A and B are shown apart, each in its own frame.
Chain A
């Protein structure tokens, strides 16, 4: 037999397309081999093998991972194990769900401006029982002293000079979601989902529904998703009113927020190598949107702190975002390129640009480097501190809203990261993702009064996260 061998090189367009198609065909039907009804002419000595139990009517995909997140400078540390699953039913329906647990510890800026002297933050908190004697205990980094004859206590912590004041915290979060994606007909999918997230002081419930429809031989997909979210804020020690002084007993109870979110999108296959997606997202929220622990300093003309007040934010917010994403198959690699423009009624305008590319090293290994850049303008009520001309203990003429939250300030952020995926067996993958996130923003404030001039107000973070996960299809 005379064989003439053709040379081996980069896959041509048909071979490359077939590769993806075949993977799709074989993985989609992997379950059929399993749930095959026993053929009539099966060997008699193998009854046990023929009724081997199938893992499910269709295939099941499980993805579990653990995320380690660390901000430099001893700020926030988080560990987050996640498990997600998808069950693909034989009729095309998909049930998906996930469970997340978070453990967060560390310290975050409490909102007060830095100062040239040490700053002491003293607050009155309720205690469970009345004690007649003075007792002292430590809670986080603060010292709690009972006030005799009352059910209240004085909680005090001190922060060093010239530093961004921090408050320590520790919290857990448990979150879960479940979605049923129903294949209404060959081209139409309808989904219905629910999710909740519980922290010690915050609970969120979300209900989502959506429809997507394929047109033009599945080359065009239109989708519309709407969700309603209800939040309950239960701050430790009650919800402070706007500009309530830290050194008073907070009497407010719980508060609520409602968010309605709508996303409309179109996905279009432009060529076999280019998939593009346009999304518009509108959300409107009303209710309590402030951070119940966040302070803002009131300083006098010399920049010296007069008081620490709880921040004040509007009770409504409308957000719009426009997203344009592309998936490009460039030879054996797949690139994702996307930009997002964001604007909201608080005056923030942001833009995100993201590029990532999945590069196969061999059949079992791929790498996916990622780069993301984000830049935003400040909210129109962002103030690093408030100045009181009077120097009194009650302040008049404060703006309606003010917050020193760095997330509402003007800043930019760069993320550099990547993912390494390793196909262990036919249907499983081990992956490691790493990201370095670095914010850049304003350090010193031009025209700051007295002692505040030259102080570093920048509280942006540099965070490193590592995620390890394992994905398996059964």
Chain B
């Protein structure tokens, strides 16, 4: 039977489901996954000044030597930046200084967008594979990777602790399963509606990961135009005609996460992008 263990981490409701007969083991697995989520949150959260990411942002202008795990994550982000032609950029957080998506009509003027944009661009950082140097005013945000990475790491940790026990790890809607359930059936997963008025949808999966990007509630509207919260790090402007949400299935959570983010960044071209990448995906408009 499936035991569920719930907690809140990384600002999201999290849960671990284990398909086994031992409730104590299920509890242990849940606690292990929670420990992993908290470890990664403590290291990579932008909101915690004492996290590694907080320290890197604090040390703008000075080279920070990274430990192996952080270096791997940064290298991954670096590769994604290059692969996406600059669309995926962990330095884009500085644009939030210009844009505040609260449903109001506050669209920033061109000067403030340009001022924020001056502090954005992965090509402006110093990165040699071990040390990272941010220019003053720049910041990095691993929010686009860390939660997905935490899911993959937690799943690996559970697999080592209890090999063969089917588990589902779901951190705030980014989830991955170890494989089919004990009797071979698929996991039934509830994908929450992005809009409050939407009904949740159910997906079934037997392997791999699913992530969802999008938050239709965050926008500003002016002159009849709705500016969504997905910002293009190259122009500093919102991506127009971005889907309300994109859900992507991929073997690992980090892959799914990047693909769903990149799809959102394609705006009107999201479906075409997902199609050309050949990934299984669901798009809400």
- Write the residues of chain A forming the contact surface with B, with a CB cutoff of 8 angstroms: 1-15, 17-19, 21-26, 28-30, 32-34, 36-39, 41-43, 45-46, 49-50, 52, 90-92, 185-187, 218, 363, 425-426
Check if B254 is an interface residue, CB within 8 A of chain A.
Answer: yes
A-B contact count (CB 8 A): 158
Q: A12 contacts which chain B residues (CB < 8 A)?
A: 276-279
A58, chain B: closest CB distance, angstroms: 8
Contact B35 A38 (CB under 8 A): yes
Write the chain A residue with the least CB distance to B245. Answer: A1
A116, chain B: closest CB distance, angstroms: 67
Write the chain B residue with the least CB distance to A37. Answer: B39
Proximity string of chain B (135-155) to chain A, C-beta cutoff 8 Å, 1 when within and 0 when not: 000000000000001001110
Q: B69 contacts which chain A residues (CB < 8 A)?
A: 29, 32
Within 8 A of A (CB), among B84-103: 84
- Write the residues of chain B forming the contact surface with A, with a CB cutoff of 8 angstroms: 28, 31-32, 34-36, 38-39, 42, 67-69, 72-73, 75-76, 79-80, 83-84, 128-131, 149, 152-154, 156-157, 159-161, 163, 191, 193-194, 198-201, 207, 247, 250-252, 254-255, 258-259, 262, 271, 274-285
Contact B259 A18 (CB under 8 A): yes
B110, chain A: closest CB distance, angstroms: 31
| With contact pairs A1-B200, A91-B68, A425-B163 given, residues A11 and B279 touching in the complex (Cβ less than 8 Å) | yes
Complex partner residue of B279 from A6, A39, A45, A50, CB under 8 angstroms: A6
Complex partner residue of B160 from A26, A34, A45, A46, CB under 8 angstroms: A34
- The 10 A-B pairs of least Cβ separation, nearest first, read A12-B277, A186-B129, A3-B282, A33-B157, A186-B130, A1-B201, A15-B277, A39-B38, A9-B278, A33-B153
Contact A6 B275 (CB under 8 A): yes
Complex partner residue of B32 from A9, A49, A90, A218, CB under 8 angstroms: A49
Docked pose: A426 CA to B36 CA in angstroms? 18
With contacts A2-B284, A4-B285 known, what are 10 further pairs, Cβ within 8 A? A1-B284, A5-B282, A14-B83, A19-B255, A23-B252, A26-B252, A29-B73, A30-B153, A30-B156, A425-B163
Provide the main secondary structure of the chain A interface.
Answer: loop
A90, chain B: closest CB distance, angstroms: 6
Docked pose: A24 CA to B75 CA in angstroms? 11
Write the chain B residue with the least CB distance to A27. Answer: B156
- Ordered by A's residue number, 24 sampled pairs between the chains whose C-beta atoms are within 8 Å are A1-B198, A3-B282, A4-B282, A4-B283, A6-B274, A7-B275, A8-B279, A11-B278, A14-B84, A15-B277, A17-B79, A18-B254, A21-B79, A25-B75, A26-B152, A30-B156, A36-B35, A39-B35, A39-B39, A41-B38, A46-B28, A50-B35, A90-B68, A426-B156
A275, chain B: closest CB distance, angstroms: 15
Docked pose: A14 CA to B193 CA in angstroms? 28
Docked pose: A29 CA to B68 CA in angstroms? 8
B280, chain A: closest CB distance, angstroms: 5
Q: B250 contacts which chain A residues (CB < 8 A)?
A: 15, 18-19
Q: B252 contacts which chain A residues (CB < 8 A)?
A: 22-23, 26
Contact A25 B76 (CB under 8 A): yes
